[in-house]
Amino acid sequence: MKLHEKLSLIQSEFKAKKSRFNNFGKYNFRSAEDILEALKPFNKTHGVYFTVSERIVVADTEFPIMESIATISDGADAIQAIAIVGVDLAQKGMQMPQKFGSASSYGKKYSLGNLLLIDDTADADATNSHGKGAINKTIAGAGSDYTTARKYDKPEITDANIDKAKKFLANGGKIETLQQTYLMSAEILNKLKNG
C-alpha cells in the first residue's frame, strides 16, 4: 500500500480525545501530546512513523516566526504538513521559555491537524488566538499526479475521509482552503461542492 493510501486510512480512523480543559475559557481541547499519543497504535498497524520538527524561520524581528513540520513516513516516502506560528514576545505573564513553548505547542498541534485532517473549528481553542498568529499551510511535492506518493506530497481527501472535509465545510470552512491544503480527485471535489 502506498504512503498516501496509508495516510488516508489513518485520517479516517484517527480519533484524539480533548483531554485538556481551559479554565479561563471553559472549554475542552486536545493538545499536541494528545494527538501524538493517539497516533502511536497506527505506527505498527500501518508500518509508518510520525515525527514533528521545528525551526525558527524569521528571528531578526520583535515577532519571531516558528515553523512546525509534522511528517508521516514509511521509510521510503514521506508526507509533510507545516504550521507557521508567531511568537509573541510582548505576551505578559510569561517567561521567555514559556512564550516559545506556547508557540511550539500550537505549531505542533496545527501541523499535526493539517496532516491528519483534524477539524478543530468547533473547538473553542481553535477560535481563541491567545495572542498567537497561527497560519496553517501544507507544502506539496513536484508534479500534479495525486495518485503517486512522493516525498512532501499533500495529504489526500478520499471517500474514506471525506466526512471530515464535509464537516469542515459545514462549519464555515472554504472549499478553496481544502484545495490548497489537500489533494483530491475531480470526483471528490464535485462531492464536496454538491454536498
Long-range CB contacts (< 8 A, 24+ apart) of 50-56? 50/112, 52/108, 52/111, 52/112, 54/104, 54/107, 54/108
Q: One digit per residue, pLDDT tens: the chain, 195 residues?
A: 999 999 999 999 998 878 777 777 777 788 889 899 999 999 999 999 999 999 998 887 778 899 999 999 999 999 999 999 988 888 888 898 998 998 999 899 999 999 999 875 444 444 444 433 333 333 333 333 333 333 334 677 888 888 888 887 877 777 877 777 777 888 888 888 887
Q: What integer pLDDT is reported at residue 154 of this predicted model?
A: 62
> Which domains does the chain carry?
3-155 (3.30.390)
β-partners of residue 135 are 84
Burial of 5 per CB tally in 10 Å (0-12, 13-18, 19+): middle
What is the rounded distance in angstroms from the CA atom of residue 127 to the CA atom of residue 34? 19
